[in-house]
Amino acid sequence: MTPVNPLPQPPEARAVHKSFALRDHRVDVLRGADLCPAPGRITALVGHSGSGKTTLLQILGLLLPPDSGSVRIEERDVWQLSDNERADLRRRRIGFVFQTANLLPQHSALRNVALPRPGDAHHARRAARELLDRVGLAGRADHRPGELSAGEQQRVALARALVNGAGTVLADEPTGNLDADNERRMLRLFRETADEGRAVLLVTHSPAVADVADTVLSVTDGRVIPEPHNSPSPEARP
């Protein structure tokens, strides 16, 4: 699929703080985290469990408000916008891939992919078919998620993330439930996605995912810091 040109700029998190109340305790998860996934690159976000990777991804994806700090798109602080405006930004600019594919089980792969695309149903279906073809699932368009393997479901989820020409793809453990073959296939698709100029942010524990990333960042003590050895060798790419 040819992405919309120019691609929308990715969101940028600046000095983000986020804490959660846990029983009587207050847990500061993020303490001044900065993150801006670069267009045309895969950024891997690593860190131990509970470090705040997913929280940061949700904040960057406009799903969760920060306690302080800002998330900006083209210098606009998105948390100053209305819910509807944020929903529109999510639809037009950001694609999500979840650990479990999170497809609507009652609908076909085709309808799941077309879901975020409003307006003309004919065009939405055509774009969805093209994307399913690209992820190698043209023949499974009419199948429901329950009739697809985990790897196939994740590929449908990636197609859904791209259907609106989003400039940013945020993925949380996208290969966590996949075998090695399907993981490689997904990573190859992420690479193609980044090569088209999109910013791809992968939250992961998987060394294989980190290996294909152009940049590896770690969430440590509530901040985002570069990981050493963050330039993978060309042969590590899928």
Using CB under 8 A, which of 51, 58, 154, 204 touches other proteins? 58
Nearer to other proteins, 39 or 145 (CB): 145
Residues in contact with other proteins, counted by CB under 8 A, come to a total of 34
Rounded to the nearest 10 degrees, the angle between the axes of helix 180-195 and helix 150-162 is: 10
234 CB-near residues (< 8 Å, 6+ apart): none
Q: Which residues pair with 19 in a beta bridge?
A: 28
Asked if residue 165 binds other proteins (CB under 8 A), the reply is no
CA–CA dist 150, 128 (Å, integer): 19
205 binding other proteins? (CB under 8 A): no
Least distance (Å) between residue 154 CB and other proteins: 12
At its nearest, how many Å lie between other proteins and the CB of residue 56?
12
- Residues 101-120 close enough to bind other proteins by CB under 8 A: 102-104, 106-107, 111, 114-119
Q: Which stretch binds other proteins (CB under 8 A): 43-51, 58-66, 71-79, 188-196?
A: 58-66
Identity of residue 137: L
Cα separation of 188 and 149, whole Å? 18
Please list every residue from 62 through 101 that binds other proteins, using CB under 8 A.
Answer: 63-64, 83-84, 87-92, 96, 98-100
Compose the 119-138 pattern: x for residues touching other proteins by CB under 8 A, - for all others.
Answer: x-x--x--------------
- What is the distance of C-alpha 120 from the center of its chain? 25
The arrangement of strands across the sheet holding 94-97 comes to 94-97, 168-172, 199-203, 42-46, 215-220, 223-226
Residue for token pair 């901040």: 223
